[in-house]
A and B are shown apart, each in its own frame.
Chain A
Amino acid sequence: MRLTYAMFYLLCSVVSYQAVADSKAVIGWVEYASLHNRNISLKAKMDTGADNTSLHASNLKLISKKGEDWVRFELPDEVGGTHTIEQPVIRYTSIKRRGVSAQERPVILLKICVSNQLREVEVNLTDRSNYSYKLLIGRSYMEGLFLIDSASMYTVSPDCK
């Protein structure tokens, strides 16, 4: 009897694992993403070649709040608006770059919505004004949620509660 229960549970866990594996949604390599509770929508490149997520920040300033490191920066959206964001810095990351010296970037936590998925991730801040996409979403955000189709763009819209 005990064995039967064990087998039943084993079967259930296999089935639920399968359901999770199959539930990853297919999205394009560029999608609109929103910053949760901020009413900001940005074009985001879904980059399987990147470990982490990176966001454009202009006029980036390190400030001190209650003895903590914070960052204040401006983020232009896709419709001509500019948003000022203040967030605590959780750490600094050093980015190795080809041919030039390494760069220190502040890292903040942001809740990002893609399709109907809301996930809080570490986001490093840098000047991306020369790039087409102000938000680059790396694997740590996408893991377990999405499969990326290199042949399509703008297949879903951010819709998170």
Chain B
Amino acid sequence: MGKNLITVGWREWVALPDLCLDHIKAKVDTGARTSCLHAFEIDPYEENGVEMVRFLMHPIQKRTDIVTECFASVVDKRIVSDSGGHKEQRYVISTRMLLGTHNWDIEMTLTSRDEMMFRMLLGRTAMEKRMLVDPSASYLTGIPEGYEDL
């Protein structure tokens, strides 16, 4: 185990600047392999021969009145089955994630399921060799100003 691992809680505020998402609360989930972002109106399109996806999301939990439009290039399409056994085609995007003073590129699937409590799940692939998760802690990398009660 490397010694430069950052310790984070099971909930953290992260930023996804390429998607224009400055503050998004992520559930840090060692039970999930892939990371996942809750999106809706997911529409693929092509730009200069590159497969792109445009989607909307509610960046803040319980605030369906706030909508952000995001654009990302598609790195893969996958068939994913959920805990209820349903299969769904999902787009995989690659994007930069900021967590505390660290940043790196992560891959995320886009899902349109409404039942997701957290707008973002951070899975093992994105965490490997970078962080340890403390199940007793939350927001070890800080809470953005004005977001204390969200």
Interface on A for B, CB 8 Å cutoff?
24, 26, 29, 45-50, 96-100, 130, 136, 139, 142-144, 146-152
Q: A29-B124, A49-B10, A98-B113 are in contact. Are A147 and B133 (CB under 8 A)?
A: yes
Contacting residues of chain B (108-150) with chain A, CB-CB under 8 angstroms: 113, 115, 121, 123-124, 127-129, 131-136
Residues from chain B with a CB closer than 8 A to the CB of A98 are 82-84, 86, 113, 115
Complex CA gap A8/B89 in Å reads 61
Interface residue from A46, A50, A139 paired with B136 (Cβ < 8 Å): A139
Residue with the highest number of chain B CB atoms closer than 10 Å, among A50, A136, A143, A148: A148
Contact: B30 with A29, CB < 8 Å? yes
Interface residue from A49, A99, A149 paired with B132 (Cβ < 8 Å): A149
Contact: A48 with B82, CB < 8 Å? no
Residues from chain A with a CB closer than 8 A to the CB of B24 are none
**Can you list the 9 inter-chain pairs with the closest CB atoms, starting with the nearest?**
A49-B29, A47-B31, A150-B124, A142-B135, A143-B136, A139-B135, A151-B128, A150-B127, A147-B132
Contact: B30 with A46, CB < 8 Å? yes
> Closest Cβ of chain B: how far from A97's Cβ, in Å?
5
Contacting residues of chain B (67-117) with chain A, CB-CB under 8 angstroms: 82-86, 113, 115
